[in-house]
Amino acid sequence: MKLICGLGNPGREYERHRHNVGFMVVDALLARARAELTQDKFQARVGQGSLGGERILFVEPQTFMNLSGRSVAEAARFYKVAVQDVLVVHDELDLPFGRLQLKAGGGAGGHNGLKSMVQCLGEDAFIRVRVGIGKPEGPNAKERVAGYVLSNFDDGERRQLEELIGKAADMAESWVRDGLATAMNRHNRRA
C-alpha cells in the first residue's frame, strides 16, 4: 500500500486557493481511482482505491497546513506504510506557476506543511510532487507571501490550472506504477 496526501486547508473559503493545489491533485487522482474520501479519521478525510494495480490510501488532512503532518504520520503508522511509500502533493513558491517537480526527500524550504510532515514522520525521505505556484515579486515580496498563498489563482492561471493538475496527477500515478526513478526521468524533463 502507498499513501498519497494532498496538502491544503479545510473549508470552502480556502478551496480554490494556491495553498490548496495539493487537495486539487488528490481529487483528480480519486476520480482516476474511482474512489472517494469516505472516512473522517486521523484528523483527515481518507479514502482507498487503486492506481496502477497498487492499493492507495488517499489523505487530505483537515488540521490546517501547519499541523498536516500529524494526520499523515498517524495514517502511515496505522496502515504500516513506510515513509518512502508516502507521496505528498504541495504548492511550491520556488517554482514558477506551471512547473512541476517529482523528488524524494529534501528540506521544507519554509513550507509549514512540509515542516510538519518532516517533524511528525521523523524523516524527510517521503516523495513530493512540487506544484509551482510562483511567488509575489517586487518590494515587500516576503511580507506578502502569506496573503499570496491564501489567494485564488488569477484568471490566466485558472485557464491553465486543469492541465497542470492533470500533469501533477500523471506524475503521482507514474510514481505508483513505474517507481520513482522512471517517473522522475519521464516527467521532470518534460515539466
Residue 140, marked binder? no
Catalytic site residue 111?
Answer: no
Residue 78, annotated ligand binder?
A: no
Whether the Cβ atoms of residue 78 and residue 146 lie closer than 8 Å to each other: no
Q: Considering 17, 19, 90, 111, which one is annotated as catalytic?
A: 19
3-state secondary structure 1-35: CEEEEECCCCCHHHCCEHHHHHHHHHHHHHHHHCC
- How deeply is 178 buried, as exposed, middle or buried, from its count of CB atoms within 10 A (0-12, 13-18, 19+)? middle
- The answer to whether the annotation marks 66 as part of a ligand binding site is yes
9 assigned binding-site residue: no
Phi and psi dihedrals of 105, rounded to 5? Answer: 65, -170
Query: Angle formed by the axes of helices 112-121 and 68-79, to 10°?
Result: 30
Question: Which letter does DSSP use for residue 109 in this model?
Answer: T
Q: Which residues are annotated as a binding site for tRNA?
A: 14, 64, 66, 112
- Looking at the annotation, which residues are catalytic? 19
Q: Which residues are annotated as a binding site?
A: 14, 64, 66, 112
